[in-house]
Structure formats: structure tokens, C-alpha cells
Structure 1
Amino acid sequence: MVEEKKAEPEPSLRERKKQATRQRISNVATGLFVARGFDEVTVAEVARVAEVSAMTVFNYFPRKEDLFLDRIPEAVELFTEAVRRRGPDESPLAALRALALRLLGRRHPLGGLDDDFAHFWRIVVDSPALRARAREGVEEVEEALAQALAETAPELPDPHLAAAVTVAAYRAVYVVTARRMLEGERAATLVDGHRVRLEAAFDALEGVFGTGG
């Protein structure tokens, strides 16, 4: 059953302060990782520069890798909420397609297109620990999406398969663009091709799973 869309409540002052602290820690960590490399920076150093305790860092980021790959929880929330909060006549794939195009249009980090992302992915490629965590993050999104589909799209015979194929398709489009940026191409020259591949990916998915809401 699809939930009706509701206005998001404004976060409390306490929640806003927590979000600001989390963002400050992440920004400090990212700056250090970019300057010196992921493996050369310790959590204790991040805590010192961010002016918090190491325990506070771990309260927000369970692992060092999460300091850099800090958008995994956001990806889980965006994908699952797109499905759970879609319109009553909107299919899960239509909602996910709209999300993907919206992220692209906003040049959101999870959308895959910004010239700064090349620096980000170069650090990930150079670190086995970050590459492993990135793979785990993809699995977390896939599992959460499967759960959301199982709860809201009973017409799908295999929500886990649908989630796996959808995430794999999105990742494939994202990775092609990331590799081309790592090779030196600019985001402005890639955006149209990225959008075409996204649309083609969702067209193919709808051909397999249908468009019923």
C-alpha cells in the first residue's frame, strides 16, 4: 500500500544542531582526506581539527570510512522514501526514475555529475577500505529498497530481484560517468549522455517489471 504524501515536519533545534555537527565533522574529514589521502589521516586527528572528541565522531560515523562515504544513509532514505511516498497512481519505477532525474538536475552528489566528484572518486579508488565500504553501501541501499518494495508494491513477484536490478542499473550509469570524469572529461560534456543512459536504463527496467502502481 502506498502512503499518502505528507509535509515533512521542521527539524527541532536539537536536531538541527546535531545535523550541523555531523556536517562539520564530515567536512573536516573530507578536507584532510583530500589533502593527505584517506589512509594517512586518523579519526583522532579528525576529532581534534573538528574540535570534538573521538567518541563524538564515532557517535555520528560508526567507521572511519563513513566519514568520507557519509551519504550512504541519505541514499538509503532517498531511494526508500521515493517508493514509500510516491503518488497513488505512480509506479515504483516511475518514482525512482523521477528521483534519479531530480538528483541529476540538482547536481546532487548521488546524481553523479559535478566536476568535483572526480577528486572524490579518485580517493575512493586509491583506498581498498573505501572501495569495500562503497560496495557495502550499495548493498545497504539494495536491501532497504527491497524492503520498501515488499511493503508497498505487492504486485511485484520478487521485490528483492527488482531492487537488485534497479540499483545495479543506476550504479552502472553512475560508474560510466564517474570513470569518464576520472579520465578528465568535464561534467558539462557528460550530462546529456548521462541522462540518456538513465532514461534507457529505466525504460529497460519497466520493460521487465512493468509500470503498474
Structure 2
Amino acid sequence: MDDGTARDGEQRAEGLRERKKRQTRQYISDVATGLFLKRGFDEVTIAEIADAADVSVNTVYNYFPDKADLFFDRHDAVVERLSGIVRGRRPGESAAGAVVRALRDELVMVSPSLGLIPGYAGFMRICHSSPTLMAKVWRMQNLAQDHLTRTLERETGADRGDLMPELVAGQIAWLQNTVMRGIGRAMADGGEPNEVSRAVLVKLDAMEALLSDEILNYATKDTE
């Protein structure tokens, strides 16, 4: 076997291992979510999740450092969401403008990524009933804002003594968090995804109007 064939084989094997790990992680998370929805977050133990998923307790912890991570299995994507939108903004588009556009597009599409999906009400009820989960939400929101601040510093060349990246990150995070809280409340109250998306779109327009021109035009991407 030549070196190229050997490398191809190694890459395929690595790809299969990574896919298997992703599948196992998702399966454990799905099993845990089913138990949480049925019995509540605080009432379910890691041992019970491991037993239901037919894996060891150590395997669960290998994929999820703590129980709250099983509930929020998209932790990293949530934390990096705002930074990713800002880094991918269009030429001539500002940081805040990119986030407003992304939120508006997802609301128009009634995107499940915003919680506009049947069953989200149960998810929110469990979350609000657990101090542990609410603390996790707060930590994720703060991490997302911190990551966005660092992203804005890099995108604009600002140093750590410049307050604007942190100020703008705070305003953008407020905008997204307010949208998500509005969706969560409306869905928990029994709202239908299409109706909730239309109502929140109106609120998004109002929130955008509250932002100053300096915030709305900050970190505008060059058109060249």
C-alpha cells in the first residue's frame, strides 16, 4: 500500500470515528431530553440517562461535562452565533445590521433555530423551572457577548481600552436576547409558530429603531 492510499484509509477511518462520536453524542442528548420532558430536569440523574441510553456514566460525562450540557447540547453554536454572523456580514453591512438581518430572515422563515417549532413550549417550561438551567442560560449569554466583543475588536482593530466593541456587543446581544425571550414567552403561552414570528417581527423593527446611528453603523464592512 502506497503512502497516499494509507493516508486515504486513515482519513476514512477518522471520518467514521468522528461520525460515530457525533451520532453517539446526539443519541445520548436525545434520550436525556426525552427524560427531562417527561419528568423534569432536576428529577433525572446522570445514572438514569446512562441506563436509558445503554451507555456507562463515564461515557455520558465524556460527551457532556455536566447535566445542563445535556439539555443545551448546542452550547458552542449558541455561544458563537453572534460572532459568526458578524464575521460573515456582507460588504457595506455593519455588525448590528448583519444580526438584525439574520434575525429577520429567520423570523420570516419561521426557523426552528429560534424556537419557532411545536414542542418548544415544553422546552421553555423545563428551563424556567430549573435554577440550574436558568444559570446556564445566563452564562451562555454572557459568553456569547464576550466572544462578540473580542470579534469586534479584531474586526475593527480596536484595542482592549476602547469601549466601543463592548458597548456595541452589549447592544447586539440585548437585541437577540430580547427576541429570544419574546419567542420563548409567546410559545410557552401556547402561541403558534407562524403567529409568534409575525408578532416578534414587529417588535424587532421597533428594537432596531431604538438603536443609535453610531451602533447601527459600527464595524461596517468595506465594500472593496
Report the TM-score, using the length of structure 1 for normalisation.
0.84
1:193 aligns with 2:199: yes
1:95–1:129 Cα change, 3 Å: same
Residue in structure 2 matched with residue 33 of structure 1 by the alignment: 36
Q: 1:209 aligns with which of 184, 209, 215?
A: 215
For 2:35 and 2:75, locate their aligned partners in 1 and report how far apart those are by CA, in whole Å.
Answer: 20
Distance in 2, matches of 1:16 and 1:195, equals 37
Retained in 1: the 8 A contact 2:179–2:200?
yes
Contact 2:46 2:60 in 1 (8 A): yes
Residue 164 of structure 1, CA deviation: 1.5
Q: Distance in 1 between matches of 2:183 and 2:124?
A: 11
Q: Which amino acid aligns with 2:202?
A: V
Aligned residue in 1 for 2:173: 167
Distance in 1 (CA, whole Å) between partners of 2:212 and 2:118 is 31
Distance 1:132 1:88, change over 3 A: same
Q: Is the 8 A contact 1:104 1:112 kept in 2?
A: no
The answer (yes or no) to whether the contact 2:183–2:200 under 8 Å persists in 1 is: yes
Gaps of 5+ in 1: 1-10
The one-character-per-residue Cα deviations of 1:156-184 (angstroms, maximum 9, x if unpaired) are 85111211121112111221222122222
2:18 maps to 15
1:111 corresponds to 2:117? no
Name whichever of 94-103 and 171-180 sits farther off: 94-103
Q: Which amino acid aligns with 1:144?
A: H
**Per-residue CA shift, 1:70-129, capped at 9, x if unaligned?**
222111232212122333433212222232234434544441322311110000111111
Asked if 1:145 corresponds to 2:148, the answer is yes
Aligned residues: 203
Q: Percent identity?
A: 37
Q: What is the root-mean-square deviation in Å for CA atoms of aligned residues? A: 2.3
Q: Hey, what does 1:8 align to over in structure 2?
A: none
TM-score, normalization by structure 2: 0.80
Equivalent residue letter for 2:45:
T
Change (3 A) 1:169 1:87: closer
Moved over 6 A (4+): none
Unaligned runs of 5+ in 2: 1-13
| Greater Rg by CA | 2
